[in-house]
Structure 1
Amino acid sequence: MSPRVEHTDVGAYALGLLEEDDRRAFSAHLSGCPSCTAELAELTGTAEALAGVEPVEGDDRTSGSRGEVVDLLRRKRAADRRARRGTFVIGVAAAAALVATGVAVGGTLSGGGATMPVHSAHGPAEEFYRRGNPIAGSGAPGVSGGVVLETKGWGTHAALELKGVRGPLECELVAVSRTGGRRVVTGWAVPEKGYGVPGSPEPLYVHGGTALSPADIDRFEVNTTSGRTLLVIDV
């Protein structure tokens, strides 16, 4: 085990496969590496969808499927630690395909694209949010949350905490510039049980990026795809 950091470790970090020393080293590396931070934002949805893989009840073929996927991904990381990012992503997709007929994945297809829950306890989004300085927002009745921002050479890295929402909903975090321009930072689905509510107390954590610099951003909005504004965060 070694705290040595390699750029290709971003996929293993997103999947939670790094050992503790490597995870801490790579977490520190993220704060100064725009390319790894952007790549991590792109991989988070896929990684957290796999983290939600569960056996389908009553189907004996799925016994041990989740453990087999994790073992497969660990072997993939060991074999391809120095491989290019594209190779790792193909490996993740292949692992998902292997269990697609025998497991239920926490994602839904709707309209013209795919949406999936991207909450993960103690995942990269939550870790980034908790080590930052949150800017609180004002929300619809019962809704609360905030964002943590990080200036990058390519723009702004943002992490959101959201509480007090029930689904089913499809939502987006939108950065609104001082000139009125709107950029979608990330999107997700809220299941019926919701986040940060009685019976489901854990908040939602998501993160993403925008080309706008923090100085160019007037506010962030959490909007549903049906046009309802859940939270406004002035920056």
Structure 2
Amino acid sequence: MSRADHMDVAAYALGVLDAQDAERFEEHLATCWACAAELETMVPVVGLLSGIDGEAMAALEQTHTDPALLDRTLMAVRRDRRRTRVRQLLATAAAVVVFGGVSAAAAGMLGDEPAPPQAVPTPGAPTVAPSGEPGDPNDPGVGGKEAIEGDQHNATDPATGVQTTMWLARKEYGTQIAVQLSRLPGPRTCRLVMVRKNATSEVVSSWSVPVGGYGTNQNQLPLELTITTSTPVRDMDKLQVQSVDANGVASPLVTVDGI
């Protein structure tokens, strides 16, 4: 029993031995349990190895004795492996392109879908005057307009007919005063005077009224101002809008009492 007999297991399993060698190996197989066991383990993979032809196997056998043939064989194997890697890379790239196209199409389909409805904020309720009087429909905060911060005070002067709504908001620095004036004819110069509970007063702001006035037949839009003062609300007694003539003499137009 020679070493070559043991080396013929794979060749026999693949069916590449000629008739004489196959017969000789079968005679050896009948008395060699090691080869029989090895052949049994190779049976499941014979189908995978069936793609190797006899010429390739013979060439492989010759590489043991022919160094030049071994080099050529190794070069051929390397080229084949490179081609295989290139094919794998191309296949991977193609798969990525196809997947990317499918993803883009799916994103496009999703993009065509209508956006879910969003909640619309409910407009804030208008501030109610402390006096209990109904709010003026033209006031900010009424009829869907945004509410103004602070306590609301309404007043109409019976002599001049000027109307005002003022909102007083307590702040750390003092008081924020939002003023709305209508039925205010022009041209004239006006000012807002704050009278404190200690009988002192302060000119909080001043402005000019054009010819058309504010909240009049010529200009229906009211005048809206936002003013700040360092005086807190608790120290205020009243707020008065005054008209100032060319000589600096002031006369009241409308007064908000009982702040």
Q: Shared fold (TM-score greater than 0.5)?
A: no
TM-score, normalising length: structure 1 = 0.44
TM-score (norm 2): 0.40
Q: Which has the higher strand share?
A: 1
